[in-house]
Structure 1
């Protein structure tokens, strides 16, 4: 690998740069494909989770998808306005909101799922089964490596504010 390949564009690490480009392109494609449903690509994971797991709490959704509860709350509000989900208080604990799919979500869920599968097949076109298996393993390992970092969210915030000494 040449020095240019190692560092990527503008001295930004090649793998990070490539992953960001891939995600940006995939996000743009998804946005165009699903805007007819009135949803945003970042809402797809919540929709797919609720469509297969009716009655989850917002906290359960947050934990399963590893996204902030506040982000889940905003997405849930927007999806509720689109009549794709409905929130109901938990029967045992009224403070807990359970999220349920609506008939509208049932009608579009399969289409959105099919679009996602088709896009993934297109992304992996030209790869052998072995290469796809290796790619999945590599991506899981990258994710696990990032999960294992011992940097807390507070440390990141302090660093952004310039409070961390080196």
Structure 2
């Protein structure tokens, strides 16, 4: 019975977190996924990133990443150009429009983390992180 309650609470928390992130992102005509991609790209400016890097970071399928990136291109948030390493690949870059949002997105993400750190000890957050990683990456039996 505890597992069912824990999984239900996890689903509720996930839904609520998504709603809060979407509400913030909506003010900038984005989704929380797009906001998270901008945050990821902005924190990795020092390396060439590809769609597969985004797929791996967010544990999403290729088709999901393709759609998200295509929508971001239409909104002038990213652009792609041939890789300097492998012309068959296209690197993903932020546009000036997305760069203008970087600080706001970063501040929001930091604020959300600070709320957690204010309400939970480091040990508690370590346990939560362990639980979330277990749920995210366990094999179906």
Q: How does 1:21-100 map to 2 (within 5 A)?
A: 21-54=12-45, 55-91=48-84, 93-100=86-93
1-side partners of 2:124 and 2:44: how far apart? 32
* TM-score for the superposition, normalised by structure 2: 0.82
2:136 is the counterpart of 1:143? yes
Using the size of structure 1 for normalisation, the TM-score is 0.71
Indicate the SS of the match to 1:37: coil
Q: Give the superposition deviation at 1:130.
A: 2.6
Structure 1 residues 114 and 92: CA distance shift in structure 2, 3 A? closer
Shift of 1:127: 1.9
Number of residue pairs the alignment of both structures matches: 139
Deviation (angstroms), 1:73: 1.0
- Displacement of 1:123 after TM fit? 4.4
| 1:131 and 2:124 are equivalent in the alignment | yes
Taking a change above 3 Å as real, the CA distance of residues 142 and 92 of structure 1, as seen in their structure-2 partners, is: closer
Kindly state the Cα deviation for residue 29 of structure 1 after the two structures are TM-superposed.
1.1
Change (3 A) 1:92 1:119: closer
Q: Separation in 2 of the partners of 1:139 and 1:91? A: 36
- Give the CA deviation at 1:76: 0.7
Shift of the alpha carbon at 1:143?
Answer: 3.5
- Whole-angstrom CA distance in 2 between matches of 1:91 and 1:136: 36
1:121 to 114, 122, 130: 114
Q: Offset of 1:150 from its aligned partner?
A: 6.0
Mark the runs of 5 or more structure 2 residues left unpaired by the alignment: none
In structure 2, C-alpha distance between the alignment counterparts of 1:29 and 1:142, rounded to whole Å: 22
Deviations 1:32-66 (A, max 9, x none): 11212111012233222222234312123222332
